[in-house]
């Protein structure tokens, strides 16, 4: 049933969905026209807001670029490759493969949104590689869509920027009569935890049900990830990658490989090939991270995720030479980030400067009741997320409108906070912004997966909307 509904949708998306860059350009003009039509702003104000906003995400762009490079590098070190190959051998059937990737990505997303994207993409690639070596038919776009579908619960987890902002001193909530709202009432509330589990189970089931039948055409893992040729008995006569053999696409030579011809290595080449320098720097970074967590608690920021990745890389690699080779190869993953994210920063600048966000939010506030305000906050958040796909930025400009309404209507603030958070994560499934890092790792385009993640949008939306109605009524 679900597969019959999904097939026409997938065909339409594959035929009509533009490239993510085209989507961002078109969205820029749509927002400009909406600002002109729905606010008092003139063309010059719109242009100024857009131009001023272009540089608004530079810090974030640097952070997400670094997390992409370091995540890719860590995944391609030899020890992590061996670990990933072991993990990827767990699914024995197509149904297990799609479900496994969704659950792993979902759990990682609850810890940190960045981990969810990077881990999801890497695990999807490795599961596809091992499955192909076993002769297991997997539709690679659906496998990658499964990884992105797990990401739909990220704002219910530890790194949820909306609930964290609402609990942080200096937040605008201090000016309201209910004050700051601790994460024990939002992220770690019983009802949010149950909603996260139910949403992940429902989405996982949907990905499994969408798997192709034996007669359906499939697209397997791209040729850029070649099959390992070293056989290993895998119980049924199929082969799996040899853990001692580096991947065919690895940018570094096998350990112990001979030096380039031309005589004995120079002192500089010996230094380049020694492990002492990278190991010492890695130890220093681990000491810093331990000190940070002791003093700050488990405050997992994007910077700390990056330095954790870097520390692991420095401890694992065999030399600076290997590190440079891995980093050079990883650099190809960041091009779309550097090009597209400033466009979204400009859109955010337009919406903030013209007051367009408040126009959207106020419409839903006006039709809400005390019991439905949280649910309408989710719908409003989902719409605004198309234009402002940033959890923290969206909460900063939308949260005050809905929380002021919560104070006036007598609605519990935690319901509204999570309503905005749910809306932000919900429509990520049909917004290309957050697919860019994952797709850079997977080597696909947004049109390859968006038909499937649209199903995730419907399935997860039902669970989250129902949760907010039930909690709001209670």
The least confident of 121-125, 188-192, 390-394 is 390-394
Q: How high is the pLDDT of residue 239?
A: 39
Please give the model's pTM, rounded to 2 decimal places. 0.78
Question: Which range among 6-20, 177-191, 433-447, 455-469 shows the weakest confidence by mean pLDDT?
Answer: 6-20
Please indicate whether residue 456 or residue 15 has the higher confidence score (pLDDT): 456
How far is CA 57 from its chain centroid? Answer: 17
**pLDDT at site 389:** 75
Q: What's the rounded Cα separation, in Å, for the pair 286 and 312?
A: 8
Q: How many CB atoms lie within 10 A of CB 462?
A: 12
Distance CA 152, CA 167 (A): 22
Residue 159 reports pLDDT greater than 80: no
pLDDT > 70? residue 326: yes
The Cα 330–Cα 327 span in angstroms is 5
Q: Is 82 exposed, middle or buried (0-12, 13-18, 19+ CB in 10 A)?
A: middle
pLDDT for position 206: 96
* pLDDT surpassing 50 at residue 257: no
DSSP 98-144: HHHHHHHHHHHHHH-HHHHHHHHHHHHHHHHHHHHHTT----HHHHH
Among 137-151, 204-218, 348-362, 372-386, whose mean pLDDT is lowest? 348-362
Q: Where does residue 268 fall: left (phi above 0), alpha (psi -120 to 50 degrees), or beta otherwise? A: alpha
**Which residues are CB-contacts of 295 (< 8 A; sequence separation ≥ 6)?**
none
- pLDDT at position 253 is 47
Question: Residue 382: is its pLDDT beyond 60?
Answer: yes
Percent of the chain with pLDDT over 70: 89
pLDDT at position 230, please?
33
What are the residues whose beta carbons fall under 8 Å from the beta carbon of 431, sequence distance 6 or more? 385, 386, 389
Q: How confident is the model at residue 234 (pLDDT cuts 50, 70, 90)?
A: very low
Checking if the pLDDT of 44 tops 80, the result is: yes
Residues 47-67: tens digit of each pLDDT = 999 999 998 878 878 887 887
Reply yes or no on whether the pLDDT at 289 is more than 60: yes
Is residue 279 predicted with pLDDT exceeding 90? yes
Is 152 in contact with 428 (CB distance < 8 Å)?
A: yes
Q: What 8-state DSSP symbol labels residue 55?
A: T
Q: Kindly indicate the confidence band of residue 252, based on its pLDDT and cuts at 50, 70 and 90.
A: very low
Distance CA 98, CA 128 (A): 10
At 33 the pLDDT is 95
pLDDT tens sequence across 98-145: 999 999 999 989 987 877 888 898 899 999 999 988 888 899 999 999
Q: What is the dihedral of CA 262, 265, 269, 272, to 10 degrees?
A: 120
pLDDT greater than 50 at residue 414: yes
Residue 155 has pLDDT above 80, yes or no: yes
Query: What pLDDT is attached to residue 222?
Result: 58
pLDDT at residue 233, as a whole number: 39
Answer for the pair 153, 110: CB distance below 8 angstroms, yes or no: yes
Average pLDDT over residues 241-266: 50
- Output the pLDDT for position 177: 76
Give the pLDDT band of residue 246 (cuts 50, 70, 90). Answer: very low
């Amino acid at each position: 049933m679900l597969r019959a509904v999904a097939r026409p949708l997938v065909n339409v998306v594959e035929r009509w969905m533009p490239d993510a860059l085209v989507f961002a350009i078109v969205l820029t003009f749509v927002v400009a026209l909406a600002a002109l039509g729905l606010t008092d702003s003139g063309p010059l104000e719109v242009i100024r807001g857009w131009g001023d906003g272009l540089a608004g995400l530079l810090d974030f762009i640097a952070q997400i670029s670094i997390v992409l490079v370091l995540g890719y590098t860590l995944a391609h070190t030899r020890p992590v490759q061996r670990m990933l190959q072991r993990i990827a051998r767990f699914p024995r059937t197509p149904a297990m493969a799609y479900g496994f990737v969704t659950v792993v990505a979902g759990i990682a997303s609850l810890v940190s949104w960045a981990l969810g994207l990077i881990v999801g993409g890497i695990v999807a690639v490795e599961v596809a590689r091992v499955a192909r070596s076993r002769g297991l038919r997997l539709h690679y776009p659906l496998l990658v869509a499964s990884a992105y579908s797990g990401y739909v619960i990220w704002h219910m987890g530890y790194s949820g920027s909306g609930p964290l902002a609402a609990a942080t001193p200096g937040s605008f909530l201090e000016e309201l009569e209910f004050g700051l709202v601790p994460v024990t009432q939002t992220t770690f509330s019983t009802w949010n935890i149950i909603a996260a589990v139910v949403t992940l189970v429902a989405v996982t089931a949907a990905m499994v049900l969408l798997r192709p039948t034996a007669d359906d055409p499939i697209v397997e893992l791209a040729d850029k990830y070649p099959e390992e040729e070293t056989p290993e008995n895998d119980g049924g006569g199929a082969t799996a990658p040899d853990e001692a053999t580096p991947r065919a696409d690895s940018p570094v030579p096998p350990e112990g490989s001979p030096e380039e011809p031309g005589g004995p290595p120079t002192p500089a080449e010996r230094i380049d090939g020694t492990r002492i320098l990278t190991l010492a720097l890695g130890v220093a970074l681990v000491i810093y991270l331990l000190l940070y967590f002791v003093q700050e608690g488990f405050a997992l920021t994007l910077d700390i995720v990056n330095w954790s990745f870097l520390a692991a890389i420095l401890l694992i690699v065999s030399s600076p030479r290997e590190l440079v080779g891995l980093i050079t190869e990883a650099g190809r993953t960041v091009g779309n980030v550097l090009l597209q994210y400033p466009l979204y920063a400009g859109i955010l600048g337009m919406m903030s400067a013209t007051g367009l966000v408040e126009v959207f939010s106020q419409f839903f506030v006006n039709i809400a009741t005390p019991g439905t305000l949280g649910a309408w906050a989710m719908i409003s958040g989902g719409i605004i997320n198309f234009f402002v796909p940033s959890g923290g930025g969206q909460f900063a400009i939308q949260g005050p409108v809905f929380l002021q309404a919560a104070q006036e209507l007598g609605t519990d603030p935690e319901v509204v906070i999570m309503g905005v958070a749910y809306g932000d994560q919900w429509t990520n499934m049909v917004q290309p912004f957050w697919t860019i890092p994952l797709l850079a790792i997977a080597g696909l385009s947004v049109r390859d997966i968006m038909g499937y993640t649209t199903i995730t949008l419907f399935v997860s939306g039902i669970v989250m909307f129902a949760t907010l109605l039930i909690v709001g009524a209670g």
